[in-house]
Amino acid sequence: MISEEDALQLIVDSIASLQRAGLIEANLMITCDTVLLGSGSRLDSIAFVTFVTDLEERLNRMTGQELYLVLTDIHEFNAETAYLSATMLARFIAHLTQSRTASS
């Protein structure tokens, strides 16, 4: 199980690492309110997919579980908003790992 704070840190680490590797060009400082997807996001679609793929790998290494970040699931989890912020994604990840732990 991963807490919301841990998930946020994972997001920060992922973005920072992708920036260092030159895989994300946007100069992005992640805070709770940083928009990752939707209006106001500085990540283009390729950068976002790259980020989610990297985040999935980190999540799997951290938990040892087969976890997938499916966009439609994330959207359903945050159905009332038209964008995805770092906090919203962290909350989804915490929920995902929690529900996986509960079902196993």
Interaction between residue 80 and other proteins (CB under 8 A):
no
CB of 51 closer than 8 Å to CB of 89? no
60 is a contact residue toward other proteins (CB under 8 A): yes
Helix, strand, coil share (%) of the chain residues, nearest 5:
60, 5, 35
**By CB under 8 A, residue 53 contacts other proteins:** yes
Residue whose CB is less far from other proteins, 23 or 35:
23
In the DSSP assignment, the letter for residue 65 is S
Residues found near other proteins in the complex (CB under 8 A)? 23, 46, 49-50, 53-54, 57, 60, 66, 68
